[in-house]
Structure formats: structure tokens, C-alpha cells
Amino acid sequence: MKFTAFLLYMKRQKFASIFANFFFCLVRNTLPFSAIEYSRRIHCRFLTKSRACGTLCVHWGKGVCGMTKEMYSKLSAPFQKSRKRTKLFITAEHILTGLVYLSYPSLLLYLSILRDFRVWRCLLVPAFTFAAVSVFRRLLNTPRPYEKLKFKPLLPKEKKGESFPSRHVFSVFMIAMAYYYICIPMGIYLTVIGVLLAIMRVVGGVHYPKDVLCGAAIGIGLGAIGFFAL
């Protein structure tokens, strides 16, 4: 449980309290039951000492989503204090998304100019997996947080259903895997952006933590198979 201890250290030092709480929720909802119970007990200890994370207490029995309306409100509160902050958050999310989506056709164009045969793998692997994820989440058609919990998301979104897994995050990590196949430094760069976008999609209220975690896992897993195993 070194990761849990690290998060506790972050809380005590008052570093990035919002993201520390957010990741603690992710850990609690993805670890095996014994680890979850352990982290719950530790979390309860500092809940009594810190009012800042009091409203982020997860009620057990809420399901694997592990998020409540109050928690989303707490996470987005710093960005909702003014229109300027809200606009900055939305703009940052759009810019990061745009950078990733522009990087993909740039990669295909670069490989095409060089007449590199790897362009076909970089084209077909993301295309087939994107289609598969799209069909899968349409079949599941799970409601989005703002639908189920009845709140206005920080990121403007009106789409109903198709919350799990996050295709947005899946796409970012799949493109990152394509770059790992061609250029490792760019792959690392896009992975960092992917982590930031995953956090922002949850803070923005358009996805549950499990949506972005599974989206990233599927992107990395299928990308590893498509680019390096086949």
C-alpha cells in the first residue's frame, strides 16, 4: 500500500489536495476488497482530521462507480468559483484534446511521406479498435454521471448514455501507443496528456473514474497487442 501512503503524505503536506482525493477514490474502487477495506480505514482516520476531504467520503453500497453528486461538486468547486476559471478549464481540455487528435493524422502523413510500411498498422489498429469500443459501449449504454446524479457538468455535455468505457480517453491512449511504436518520446508526451485528460473528464463530470480507467486500460492493452504482439 505504498501508493496509499504517498497520497496520505500529499494530504498532510497539503499538496494537490483535490487530485490526491480524486486518486484515492480511484484506488478504493479498483483494488481488491481486502485492499479497499484497508484504504477505507486509513481514509476514515484522516477524514476526522481534515474538513477539506470530508465531503469526499464514499458511501459503501453505491456500486463500483464510487462517486456521488457531492463529490463531483467538491472536485469541480475550484473551477466553478468564477466564469474565468470555468472557461480556462474547458479551454485547457479542448486544447489538450486537439493536440492529441492533430498528432495522429500528422503521424500518418509523416509515415506516408517516408513510404514507411508501418503506416498501415498505425492506421488499421486504431481504426478497428475504435470501432469495436464504439459498438461495445453502445451495447452497454451506461448512463453518464450528470444523468444519473442530476447535476450540471463542468464540461458542457448533453449526450445521453455511452459512458463506459470512455472512448475519449481510449483514443488518446491508443494514439499514444501508436507513437510508442514509432517514437517513444512522443508516446510518453501523449501518455502524460492522456492522464491529464482522464482526470479532467472526471472532474468535469462527464465520466466516472471507472470509465476513464477502463478506457485507458483498453487503449494500452489493445495498442500493445496491435503494435507489438502481432
pLDDT tens-digit map of 91-145? 999 999 999 999 999 999 999 999 999 999 999 999 999 999 999 999 999 999 9
Residue 68 lies in a domain: no
Residue 66 lies in a domain: no
- Residue that is written with C-alpha cell 490526491 in the block: 20
Helix or strand holding residue 56 (H, E): none
51 and 95 share one domain: no
116 and 161 share one domain: yes
pLDDT at site 10: 45
- 190, 126 Cβ separation under 8 angstroms: no
Q: Which amino acid is at 85?
A: R
Q: Determine the structural domain holding residue 40 and report its residue range.
A: 2-58
Task: Quote the CA–CA distance of 99 and 190 in Å, as a whole number.
Answer: 9
Between the CA of residue 124 and those of 2, 70, 71, 93, 186, what are the distances in Å? 39, 42, 39, 27, 20
35 and 132 share one domain: no
13 and 94 share one domain: no
**Residue where one domain finishes, among candidates 43, 58, 73:** 58
19 and 95 share one domain: no
pLDDT at site 54: 37
Query: What are the pLDDT digits (tens) for 21-72?
Result: 544 454 444 444 444 444 454 444 444 444 433 333 333 334 345 689 999 9
Range with lowest mean pLDDT among 36-40, 77-81, 143-147, 192-196: 36-40
Q: Mean of the pLDDT values across residues 193-209?
A: 96
Residue 74 lies in a domain: no
155 and 101 share one domain: yes
Confidence of residue 226 (pLDDT cuts 50, 70, 90): very high
Task: Quote the CA–CA distance of 8 and 122 in Å, as a whole number.
Answer: 41
23 and 137 share one domain: no
What is the torsional sign of CA 199, 151, 143, 137?
A: negative
131 and 220 share one domain: yes
In the 8-state DSSP scheme, what is residue 62?
S
115 and 6 share one domain: no
Residue 69 lies in a domain: no
Query: What are the pLDDT digits (tens) for 135-188?
Result: 999 999 999 999 999 999 999 998 999 999 999 999 999 999 999 999 999 999
192 and 99 share one domain: yes
Residue 131 lies in a domain: yes
- Domain total of the chain: 2
131 and 33 share one domain: no
| DSSP SS3 for 29 | coil
- Residue that is written with C-alpha cell 455535455 in the block: 157
| DSSP SS3 for 159 | coil
In the 8-state DSSP scheme, what is residue 64?
T
Q: Which amino acid is at 210?
A: K
Residue 64 lies in a domain: no
44 and 123 share one domain: no
Question: Which of 108, 35, 62 lies closest to 209 in space, CA to CA?
Answer: 62
